[in-house]
Amino acid sequence: MKLAVLDINGKETGRKADLSNNVFAIEPNNHAVYLDVKQYLANQRQGTHKAKERAEITGSTRKIKKQKGTGTARAGSIKSGVFRGGGRMFGPRPRSYSIKLNKNLKRLARQSAFSIKANEKSIVVLEDFNFDSPKTKNFTNILKALDLQNKKSLFVLGASNNNVYLSSRNLKGSEVVMYSELSTYKILNANQVVLLEGALEGIVTNLSK
């Protein structure tokens, strides 16, 4: 699979990028994609929710009325969950929502995500670029040249580039990541995936192991 390499002005450079069929042209495995996205979203949850239960409520533990003869249900403590101000019954406790997946499945999910984007013609290959200093306007100009100013975009870098990252940080619809930071969720969540030339080799190497 070959795609034209564009410059930062959105024009073709005359070069073609060869995208590996093993990564960008496989039969997508929807279940693998589902599991990897589920894991990503689950790992974003803090799991710090907590409600006070009966043993944690401040209050008297004396029996509030006699056991029998009142005509109502038995009650042992004012801290019972059936009374106003009592502890919550079976309330949430701190926990981890993380899910474990094996590497082969995660690799298959990312390959499937790239293949889905390739089928949708939502992948662009851009020549490597750099900024002299962090400036949001410079990054906005690139988005305009690629007609991405009103779309969610994911820029994938081949090497760490602080100026490019800082230039994009204020823009809500764009995200800049290293090829090693890619996730199935981020790939599918973007309307357009912009791969820099320097990232292609790293992507293929990581996903072809």
Q: Would you state the pLDDT for residue 145? A: 93
Q: HSE of 45 in the Cβ direction (CA atoms, 13 Å)? A: 13
10-residue mean pLDDT series, the chain (209 residues): 89 90 93 97 95 92 92 92 92 94 95 95 93 93 92 93 92 93 95 94 88
Q: Would you state the pLDDT for residue 208? A: 83
User: Which domains are assigned to the chain?
Assistant: 2-45+100-207 (3.40.1370.10), 47-96 (no CATH)
DSSP for 71-113?
SS-----TTSTTSTT-PPTT------------HHHHHHHHHHH
Q: Would you state the pLDDT for residue 1? A: 81
At residue 2, what is the residue type? K
DSSP for 7-65?
-TTS-EEEEEEE--HHHHSS---HHHHHHHHHHHHHHT---------GGGS-S--S--S
Q: Would you state the pLDDT for residue 80? A: 93
Assign 187 to helix, strand or coil.
Answer: helix
